[in-house]
Structure 1
Amino acid sequence: MCNLYPLKFNPILMDKFWGGSKLSKRLRKQSTSENLGESWEISTVPENVSVVANGTLKGTDLQYLLNEYKSDLIGLKNFERFDTKFPLLIKFIDAKKDLSIQLHPDDELAKKRHNSFGKTEMWYVMQADEDSNLIIGFNRDMDKKTYLKHLANKTLTEILNFDKVNEGDSYFIEAGRVHAIGGGVLLAEIQQTSDVTYRVYDWDRADADGKERELHNDIAIDAFKFDLKNNFRIDYSKNPNVSNKMVQCPFFTTNYLPVDGTVERQNTYDSFIIYICVKGKVKVDSRQYSETISEGETILMPSCIKDFTLISTNAKLLEVYI
């Protein structure tokens, strides 16, 4: 007997000096800040654990649910793999200004240095101002010696790959790949549960006191994977009312699911399912409980809910599970 239901969480809002107002004005996050950079939708990062916003479990946090419901929440194979650690972090990010050039360690290095998961991630662009860019990878074959030479000569941007982006563009960023979100981009981010970032260049910016942010080049160099292929652009189909495969990796699977009408779903994954609404509005009906999510909202379907219905007129969802 499944005592769980479709779970919504209160967003955890974070001001960033590079943030803007799209999260509040477009995605209706409750903030008056003009520097709102991130909305963490589902998180168990220490000090930033998501709290349930709906139903009988309202006010309880995700870590409590993991401890209490275990495999009913995340699936048996995930519970055997992760125990009561939730493996994913879901965010919306608004970059009014360019973020720093950065990368993240993989599981092995992150475990050794930070007792953390590594960070492989993906981005889905929800909106982009004209001529906005993302930086992903290098624009040529790269090795450690060449990279360090450009870093020392302050010519790093000459070897980085800049991609002009539009709504619907999507990217897969493996741990060890250099990247940055450019100013003017609003996106959804799916990542491993990790808050470890190695910043390698910050555009020579300084704060009001003339102080620059810390760089991590001494430890970042060990995290680079210079032999990664340039397969970061995600090509995906957009067939309505079916799951269109975007990313399938050891850390998560993400599908693109446009909903127009009524779609019967069956959870055959032995996993939780996360739905991120990137356009429109959709009703999620699990028979005992119904909930609605709109653009900029996220819902967690516990593993024990095996049958449910999605109802909408032209909503666009990202469907995520492990």
Structure 2
Amino acid sequence: MTNKNSLSKNEPFLLCPVGKDYLWGGNRLNDDFSKGIDLRPLAETWECSTHPDGLSTVASGPFTGQTLRQVLCGHPEYLGTHPRTRDGELPVLIKFIDAKRDLSVQVHPSDEYAMEHEHGQSGKSEMWYVLDAADDAELVYGFNHPIDRETLRKSLENGTVENYLRRVRIRKDDVFYIQAGTVHAIGAGALIAEIQESSNLTYRMYDYGRVDKNGKPRTLHIDRALDVARLDSGENPRQPMRVLKYTPGCASELLCRCKYFMVERMLINTKRIRQMAAVSAGENSFQVLLCVDGCGVAFPESAEAIPFFRGDCLFLPADSAVVRLHGCAQLLKVSC
């Protein structure tokens, strides 16, 4: 018999996100993903988060209604043995982002800088997977050519910084890894799934002269941004080589592997076979399944079936039993 405060063999559970109403957001996360969050605009949903600025809650199973952080504090073994995990705290944060308007030009600090200057917090490297993009959608990724600190400061002061920024056209299914220190911005018309370090440190460099809902300019963080920004031009971002691997009912491909996380895309299609796709988390790491298209049903080994739909997020504790997946869906699988 399963104790109401525990899960048999670390069974998975659905998560419920928290929303953010940043001024550049739209309504697609409610319209396309049925989030049902009473915010307009709805710019971001933090789908899997133990960060204090936005805590996910459990939406299925015996822990329903508790925050993910509460569950992990009570069951630290769910995080696994990976060295980047800490009791009750995920090393990653997973979001959906709807950019109806351009995001600010910004940069994130490294772990080392954040540790020294931000009271021991984590820095922020991140990966974007483009779910949809308008025909003219683009992003900012570093500079067109190397720039020195003083020139950059002056361009921020006089509003000419856009002349120096590298802009990259984007399309659906693109992948971008944004290392800490890379000046960047998501452009209008992009719908993004973001996997990042568990951090909310953003140094805003330039915001197109916009004002917030109270008519005040949003705060800029010029000095700290200049401290951490990479000023060399670097290389144009390239799409990673992606190779599909096939198992019964599933094709998968690696999108990103870095020291912070690994992200794979899973294409589930069991409509025409009798063997369901299978997934499980090893003892080293939890896994998160983010459904970015389609729908299906997850069948844990010894718990009730869990239907999932586009936009849903499923948490698999470390050392979980095999979960079998049935349906036609695209999932992002995140682990450490």
With structure 1 as the length reference, what TM-score do the two structures score?
A: 0.91
Measure how far apart 1:42 and its partner are.
1.1
1:1-322 aligned within 5 A: 2-71=8-77, 73-78=78-83, 81-114=85-118, 115-207=120-212, 210-227=215-232, 229-230=234-235, 232-237=237-242, 239=244, 241-261=250-270, 262-268=276-282, 270-289=284-303, 290-313=305-328, 315-322=329-336
- Residue range with higher mean Cα deviation, 153-162 or 224-233: 224-233
Q: Are residues 221 and 47 of structure 1, via their aligned partners in 2, closer, same or farther at CA, if it must alter by over 3 Å?
A: closer
Measure how far apart 1:210 and its partner are: 4.7
Tell me how far 1:299 sits from its aligned partner. Answer: 0.9
Aligned partner of 1:183: which letter? A
Distance 1:27 1:213, change over 3 A: same
Tell me the TM-score normalized by structure 2. 0.88
Matching residue's letter, 1:245: L
Measured against aligned partners, the alpha-carbon deviations of 1:142-182 in whole angstroms (never above 9, x if no partner) come to: 44344334334422111212122221111100111011111
Q: Note the residue ranges of structure 1 that are not aligned, 5 or more in a row.
A: none
Measure how far apart 1:2 and its partner are. Answer: 4.5
What SS is found at the alignment partner of 2:208? coil
Identity between Structure 1 and Structure 2 (%): 35
| SS, match of residue 19 in structure 1 | coil
Q: Which moved more, 1:179-188 or 1:280-289?
A: 280-289
The code of the aligned residue for 1:99 comes to: L
Report the Cα offset of residue 48 of structure 1: 2.2
Alpha carbons 1:238, 1:257 under 8 Å: kept: no
| SS of 1:158 mapped into structure 2 | helix
Q: Do the aligned partners of residues 52 and 208 (structure 1) sit closer, same or farther apart at CA in structure 2, a change above 3 Å counting? A: closer
Aligned residues: 319
Change (3 A) 1:243 1:258: same
- Runs of 5+ unmatched residues, structure 2: 1-6, 271-275
Compared with structure 1, are the counterparts of its residues 208 and 7 closer, same or farther at alpha carbon in structure 2 (3 Å cutoff)? Answer: closer
**Inter-partner Cα distance in structure 2 for 1:237 and 1:310:** 23
Is the Cα contact below 8 Å between 2:111 and 2:123 reproduced in 1? yes
Query: How large is the Cα RMSD of the aligned pairs?
Result: 2.1
